Amino acid sequence: MAILKTPYESIVKVQDIATGRFAHPETAIRLGLTEQLPAAAQDAQKILVIGIDFQNDFVVPDKSQVPDGEPYGSLSVPGAKEDLEHFTRFIYNNCDKITRVFLSIDTHFVYQIFHGAMWKDENGDSVAPYTMITPDDLSSGKYRFVGGNPVIAKQCVETLAKAGKGGVYIWPYHCLTGTFGWCPETQLMQMVHFHSAARKTVGKERPVPTFKGTDIYSEMYGFMEPEFNPKGDALINKAVLDVLMRTDNSANGEPKFEYDQVFVGGEAGSHCLPESVRQILKRFANYPEFTQRITILEDCTSPVPGFEQVMYDSFEEFKRNYGVQIKKSTDITL
């Protein structure tokens, strides 16, 4: 455990986690600069911490749980507040060992295939959230695509249906770029900036986020590629690969991996987190020496209600097939 001069409570206000309350990070940065820790670039053992979609729309309570006029999350995940406290404490407790914190940021616009504005029903109204649009719905004319190329939209619906996903699922408007819901949770960012200042992350160790989800014709649960991906590697998020792999890869094409350990937390444990991990594992399935370095912090993620079994099954799959470790953040000593 890191021996820091700054108390955790001086960086993170637990009572303000997942409330939307904002404090300028100047104090956290100043405190970080007073710590006598080595620069992250000097780490002999490099450790990466990945935070998946810890954004206000997923972590702040939903509209029914906050007073009128107060900020709320469009797709709030119960348990997210506790997840964030555990995640920030993990970074704090291991501040001297963690080389880099890497965040994914779900980034959407109004007109995307999983938002109601892209579709009309038989009455000419936009399709309501939590509607599944199936191939039969398109054939019958129950729903029609109005936001772009209907041929590509039909292909997306049919592809997802064949994959056992039913079709295109309509979500509430969420993580719209530049909005409150799109922004990373404020107390998490206090800790991220404290770590950056304390570890002098001036190079490739900087906590630069990766943005996902801007493709018009597909949702993007994982941070490496969209759910519907007819373009293959053309839509692969190279920013993730740039983080995971070293630039001095060998001439024979075998990848060299940047980090000795990778820890993952985020929201939701039933959707974007397991899909992000699955995409890493899929790409590097032939390199167990890397996949076995990955640990999911099970107390730093929660499922969408009703999808608990999806989370448990995914974690068991990762553990059984790839050697991924599933641990509580409090059980880890770096």
Q: Where are the beta strands (DSSP E) in the chain?
A: 47-52, 100-106, 119-121, 132-133, 143-145, 168-169, 210-212, 261-266, 294-297, 325-327
Q: What is the pLDDT of residue 161?
A: 97
pLDDT score, position 254: 75
pLDDT of residue 89: 98
Q: Which strand (E) or helix (H) includes residue 151?
A: helix 150-162
- Residue 13 is predicted with a pLDDT of 96
Amino acid at 274: P
Count of all residues that appear for the chain in the document: 334
Domains and CATH numbers, the chain: 8-108+176-217+226-290+303-331 (3.40.50.850), 116-169 (no CATH)
Q: Give per-10-residue mean pLDDT for the chain (334 aa).
A: 88 95 94 96 96 97 88 94 98 97 97 96 95 97 94 96 96 96 97 98 90 94 92 80 74 80 96 96 92 97 93 96 97 92
Q: Give the SS3 label for residue 160.
A: helix
pLDDT score at 249: 59
Contact 132, 168 (CB under 8 A): yes
Q: Give the torsion through C-alpha atoms of 184, 187, 193, 196, to 10 deg.
A: -100
User: What are the tokens at 85?
Assistant: 């406290």
- Output the CA–CA distances (angstroms, integers) from residue 182 to 58, 105, 118, 173, 179, in the order listed: 9, 8, 20, 11, 5
Per-residue pLDDT at 56? 97
pLDDT at 111: 96
How far apart CA 174 and CA 167 sit, in angstroms, is: 19
This prediction has a pTM of 0.94
